Amino acid sequence: MLTFHSDKTSLRQANTELHDGVLVTPFESPERVALILAHLKRSQLGEIRAPHAYGLAPVLAIHDKGYVDFLESCWQRWQAAGHAGEAMVNIWPARTMCGDRIPEAISGQLGYYALAAETSITQGTFDAAMASKDVALAAVSHTLSSGKPSFGLCRPPGHHAASDQFGGYCFFNNAAIAAQHARDAGKTRVAILDVDFHHGNGTQQIFYDREDVLFVSIHGDPAVTFPYYAGYADEIGSGAGEGFTVNYPLPPGTDVTTWLATLDQAMARIQAFDPELLVVSLGVDIFEGDPISAFTFKSEDFVTLGERLAQLKQPTTFLMEGGYAVEDIGVNVVNVLRGFNG
Ligand code: SP5
Ligand code: ZN
């Protein structure tokens, strides 16, 4: 399987994540990509290519222009304001405030454009996010032109990023950008299957009222799991999009047998939709050893996951989302791709 990777994804080198009330070194680290790459090479899974630059047009097909401008200028403006640390949100347009005004100050704009506080913005974040979506676009382009599967080693991940909000380590929604690229290239129906431990709230929001992009997600029950405010089973899409968002929340600790039985249901829904392309939001944070997640996959279960997904017999693009057990991240990702290859 062809992999797409960009060295520029390592330009995101944040030092701080707000975790359990403490500023820690971010779980979403550049090391993740290095370790996956090393294991891909060792496993001789196939050629690894760099993407070309697709520019901002495919980003603006998904994201709000004001949001993109904010991301591009945030770090410089935060520094210009004289703040000591990394750019971090500490105030929101919360439920009891009006909420639709965009303040002038960078601290106010951060609250407007952030959906979570753990993700700080720093030097290189925007450039890494640009490289990450280029990886996604190159991978999906390869699948579109060849019909063959591809793996986009995206970093930062994308599925929490909404049309005008960042958070959950995500800035641009790589899967949404790739799916829209496929639509614009003439594919009528695109399915996104999100297997990351966390609900892909951003992808859901972006396509919530659309019937041309099916969003199906298996994830930790948001009643007790980040991102808490989206991913419930009764969120099914709206308007023309009703029935084209499908959520399977599962309790923390769910065993692999139950998870795979849920995957069968998800795959049946995808089959009924009859897509022309499948985008898999591949988070390997469903691994038992993941430091911030609570599903129970063992490394060999990822082979099974890949094998099952191959049964859909669709042109498929895998895009990297989460996965924070760094010592096992390479084998877990490669196992999915090996299982898919058969
Ligand atoms: C792409 C992706 O996987 N993003 C995940 C973002 C999660 N951010 C907040 C996680 C909070 C985890 N709290 C669990 C504490 C376990 N001790
Ligand atoms: Zn995740």
In eight-state DSSP terms, residue 308 is H
Q: What is the pLDDT along the chain (342 residues), one digit of tens a residue?
A: 999 999 999 999 999 999 999 999 999 999 999 999 999 999 999 999 999 999 999 999 999 999 999 999 999 999 999 999 999 999 999 999 986 899 999 999 999 999 999 999 999 999 999 999 999 999 999 999 999 999 999 999 999 999 999 999 999 999 999 999 999 999 999 999 999 999 999 999 999 999 999 999 999 999 999 999 999 999 999 999 999 999 999 999 999 999 999 999 999 999 999 999 999 999 999 999 999 999 999 999 999 999 999 999 999 999 999 999 999 999 999 999 999 999
Structure tokens that stand for 143 in this block: 């699948």
How far is the C-alpha of 46 from the C-alpha of 29, rounded, in Å?
24
Q: Check pocket membership of 17 for ligand 1, CB cut-off 6 A.
A: no
Question: To which H or E segment does residue 148 belong?
Answer: none
Active site (annotated) includes residue 159: no
Q: Which atom of ligand 1 is nearest to the CA of 170?
A: 1
Q: Which atom of ligand 1 is nearest to the CA of 198?
A: 3
Residue 156: per-residue pLDDT: 98
Pocket test for ligand 1, best of 198, 204, 332 (most atoms within 8 A of CB): 198
Pocket test for ligand 1, best of 12, 19, 203, 280 (most atoms within 8 A of CB): 19
Q: Are 297 and 254 in contact (CB under 8 A)?
A: no
Its ipTM equals 0.97
Residue nearest to atom 14 of ligand 1 (CA): 292
Q: Check pocket membership of 155 for ligand 1, CB cut-off 6 A.
A: no
Could you tell me the fold of the domain covering 2-11+24-53+124-341? Arginase; Chain A (3.40.800)
Which of 5, 160, 198, 199 is flagged as catalytic?
Answer: 160
Structure tokens that stand for 304 in this block: 């099974």
| Entry pTM | 0.98
What would the DSSP string read from start to end of 279-303? EEEE--TTBTT-TT----B-TTHHH
How far is the C-alpha of 37 from the C-alpha of 320, rounded, in Å?
12
Residue nearest to atom 8 of ligand 1 (CA): 168
Instruction: Give the residue from 298, 199, 207 showing the smallest Cα distance to 248.
Output: 199
Q: Check pocket membership of 8 for ligand 1, CB cut-off 6 A.
A: no
Read off φ and ψ for residue 23, nearest 5 degrees.
Answer: -85, 115
Which ligand is in closest contact with the Cα of 158? Answer: 1
In eight-state DSSP terms, residue 212 is S
Give the position of tokens 């496993």. 43
